[in-house]
Amino acid sequence: MHNRSLILPLWLLLCAIAMRAQQIVTQFPDAPQLQDQAQQPTPALNSATANSPGSVAPDSAREPLTRQQAEQLALKNNPRISVAALLALAQKQAVRETRSALLPALNGNVTGVDSEEASRISTGSLEASRLLYHIGAGVDLNQLITDFGRTRNLVASSSFQAKASEQQSQATREDVVLAADIAFYTALEAQATLQVATSTVTARQAVGDQVNALTASKLKSTLDQSFAQVNLSQAKLLDLDSQNQFDAAMANLNEVLGTTGNQRYQLVDDPSPPLPVAPSSDAVIALALQQRPDLLAVKLNHDADVRFSRAQHEQLLPTISGLGTVGITPIGSGTYFTPDWYGAVGVNIGIPIFEGFKFRAQAAESDLRAKASDEQSRVLINRIVRDVRTAWLRSKTAQQKMSVTAELLQEANTALDLAETRYRLGLSSIVELSQAQLQQTQAQIAEANARFDYEADLAALRFQSGSQP
């Protein structure tokens, strides 16, 4: 009877304690949501962290940057663009150099000779052996009449090389655009991960404070307090790693954009949903084989090798040139320079007879190089087909991962809500709550990674198909 009289007071005391604990624990902050963080500034942990060298500047202090703006900056400032453009211009000058052989060569000469009058050269020369005192001026003209197509084939070869250089310049532009896209999405992924990590620290700090208060009130054990501190420390480590990854990604982005300074940007993702992947890789492969600039450059280089091979074979043919000279000799011996001017025209036919098999070896070499360049185009075609198909498969898988990670995040949020409710009611330990918090953080990071990985894979697929701007 005495024991029964104690049941009612004890039961009332337990109810009061449970109600008090529920009032305290219900103040636990909700877990951070990635969708809300994407449009919110990244909060600083404390004043020391905000002022540290590796910390992220507030959004208001950082310049916004979209993917399109990153591409434009890379095309404007990246030195690889300038190098490729200058090489293309240099190759155009090589075409003019080769074509100059078809144009007349006109040279002017002014000569004055003081000699032992009418003496002769006895060594070292068989031409103009008589030395005469005179002063003269004149011009010489040399015009190629025909070399049976050799020079024209050389000009055509240089022209194909110039066009190939232009395609290489375009390929460099597309390569820089791809590098800018990959660097942008990598930095955007690091920025989203850092936002998740920072918000996780804030949320777990609040949970730790509440558990400390419950422990001080003897409503929770020190085990709960220890688990809360472990969760907080893990969140801080995640924040430090995320900060480092963000700084490294921003440094890589600045390098692609052609900036040597430590420029900080607030990366802005396109709010519109990403485009779907092509239903089949065959259409993408056909498009790539039509417009990939590196493949066009290889084919143009092969055409250049073929024309150069023809020119090398034509070295064995004669060369016919027209010659002309005219001038005056105002000062000179009247015995030898009876008129005071001179002039002559002529035709020269050069016939290669024997050059130690040099021309034949050069012709054979050029034939082999032309065949090798043809095989190189086949190698590149096979590589393009492989790369396009691989990029298409990655994009398709990344597209599927987006829906899976979205479901994962939704389930992780639901599991965390249930774990928090059970913990408030005293139906579970803090271990279950900690596991649910960890799973939600991992799901948020996975969801962000899946979105930006898909964007990066789409950029790679555009590059492989030759569709970059």
d(CA 83, CA 169): 9
Distance CA 433, CA 418 (A): 9
pLDDT digits (tens, 9 = 90+) for 378-429: 999 999 999 999 999 999 999 999 999 999 999 999 998 898 888 877 787 7
Q: Per-residue pLDDT for 37 more than 90?
A: no
Q: Is pLDDT at 168 greater than 90 in this prediction?
A: yes
Q: How would you classify residue 271: left for phi > 0, otherwise alpha for psi between -120 and 50, otherwise beta?
A: alpha
DSSP 136: E
| Tokens, residue 368 | 């082999």
Q: Does residue 343 contact residue 165 with C-beta atoms inside 8 Å?
A: no
Neighbours of 334 (CB within 10 A): 7
Tokens of residue 248, six digits: 């490294």
DSSP string, 287-330: HHHHH-HHHHHHHHHHHHHHHHHHHHHGGGS-EEEEEEEEEEEE
pLDDT value at 270 more than 90? no
Judged by DSSP in three states, 166 sits in helix
pLDDT, tens digit, 9 for 90 and up, residues 98-152: 999 999 999 999 998 888 788 888 777 667 778 888 899 999 999 999 999 999 9
Show the tokens assigned to 418. Answer: 């249930």
The closest of 30, 29, 18 to 425, measured between CA atoms, is 18
The mean pLDDT of 371-382, rounded to a whole number, is: 95
CA angle 432, 437, 439 (to 5 degrees): 95
Of the candidates 435, 403, 429, the residue with the CA atom closest to the CA atom of residue 416 = 435
CA separation for the pair 118, 113 (Å, rounded): 12
